[in-house]
Amino acid sequence: MKKYWCSLVFFLVLIAGCRHQPKPLSFYYWKTQFSLNEYEKNVLKEHAVTSLYVRYFDVDYKEGETQPMPVSPVILDSTVRSYRIIPVIFIINRTFERLAASEISTLARNVAGLVTQINRSQQLMTREIQFDCDWTERTRDKFFEFIRQYRAITKAQLTVSATIRLHQVKYKERTGIPPVDYGVLMYYNMGAITGDNNNSIYEKAVANRYNSYIKSYPLPMDIALPLFSWALKIRDGKVVELLNKIKTGQFENDSNFISANNGSYIAKNACFKAGYYFKEKDLIKPEHVPANDLLDITTQINQHTNNRIGKLIFYDLDSTNLVQYEKDIFKKVLSNIR
C-alpha cells in the first residue's frame, strides 16, 4: 500500500510539472541592421531565449524592374552568433501575382543565394527558414511551388515554416495549406485599418470570427503575439498613413497636438513629429495591445487550439516596444498558456 501511494504521489507531481511546463519563447527581429542594445540583450537573457526569427530581406518588384528584387537586406553584427537564427523572408503578395510560373525556380535560386550570402557574412549555419507571405487564392499555387523549388534547390535537411493569417485558417479550402513543416499563426493585424473605434492590431470580436477554425488546421503551429504599437494618421475621415514605432503617449506633452476622444490627438497646425509630417486637423490614433489583452489572447488560444501550440514568438524585439510593458509580462503570458 505504501508503495502504491508513493507511486501515485510521484505520478501526480509529474503530471503537475508537465501541466505547468512553460512554452519556449522567441522573438521576431525586424530591423534592417541586427544590433541588440543592452535592454534587449537582458530581456533575452532573463527569459533564456535561444532562437530569434530575423527578417533577412523583403522580396518585391521595384519600380521599372521586370524581375522581383530583394529589398533592404539585413546587416548582421557578430552578436547574432550567440543565438539560433531562423531567417525570415517577407515576400510581398504582388510578387506572385506578377511572377510567371516559369520564373519561380529562378526566384527560389536567387532567394537561396542571398540567404547564403548573408549567412556567410557572419559564418552562420542556419538549418531553418521561414517565408512570410499573405498569399491569396489567386497566388497560392505559385507561392507553394516556390517553397517546393526552394527545398529542391537547397538540397538540405531544412526545416521550412510559413506564417499563417487567420483568414487563411478560416478559408483553408480556398487558400490552401502550404507545403511546410509547421506554420506560425499571426494573431494580430486581424482588423481592417479604417480608423474607427476598433483596434486594428487586436480586436477580440474580430478574433472570435476565426477562433473556432484554428483547431482543425492541419499543420502544427506556433503562435506570434503582438508586441508593437503604431498610429493611424487620419485625414478627412480616411487613413492616409500608418505610423510605425509610435507610442501611445508620445503626443501628450507636445503643444502641436491636442487630445481628442479615445486617446487620439489632433494636429493644431502643420508640423513634423517622429519623422512624420502632419497637416492641420490631422487625427492621430495610436494603437497598441495592452498587457491585459495579451493575457486575453492566451485565453483565446487555450480555448481554441487543443493545446497544439509549440512555442510563442513575440513581434517584435525592439526596446521601444519592450519598455511599454512591465518586465514580467512574458512570464505572465507563458504561465497563462497551455
Per-residue model confidence as pLDDT tens for the chain (338 residues): 555 554 544 444 444 444 556 688 999 999 999 999 999 999 999 999 999 999 999 999 988 889 999 999 999 999 999 999 999 999 999 999 999 999 999 999 999 999 999 999 999 999 999 999 999 999 999 999 999 999 999 987 899 999 999 999 999 999 999 999 999 999 999 767 877 878 889 988 889 999 999 999 999 999 999 999 999 999 999 999 999 888 767 898 899 999 998 889 999 999 999 899 999 999 999 999 999 999 989 888 888 887 778 889 999 999 999 998 998 899 999 888 77
The CB density around residue 308, as the number of other CB atoms within 10 Å, is 16
Residues 40, 129, 168, 245: is their CA dihedral positive or negative?
A: positive
CA distance 107 to 105: 5
**Please, what are the domains in the chain?**
18-227+289-335 (3.20.20.80), 229-288 (no CATH)
Residues 94, 98, 100, 103: is their CA dihedral positive or negative?
A: negative
Cell matching residue 143: 507561392
In DSSP notation, 200-245 reads: SS--HHHHTTTGGGGGG-SS-EEEEEE--EEEEEEETTEEEEEEET
Return the amino acid letter for 238. K
Provide the pLDDT for residue 20: 52
Cell matching residue 294: 495579451
Angle at 219 between CA 172 and CA 60, to 5 degrees: 65
CA distance 130 to 141: 18
CA distance 326 to 298: 17
Residues written for the chain: 338
The CB density around residue 249, as the number of other CB atoms within 10 Å, is 9
Distance from the Cα of residue 333 to its chain's centroid: 16
Sequence-distant (6+) residues with CB within 8 A of 290 are none
Cell matching residue 127: 538549418
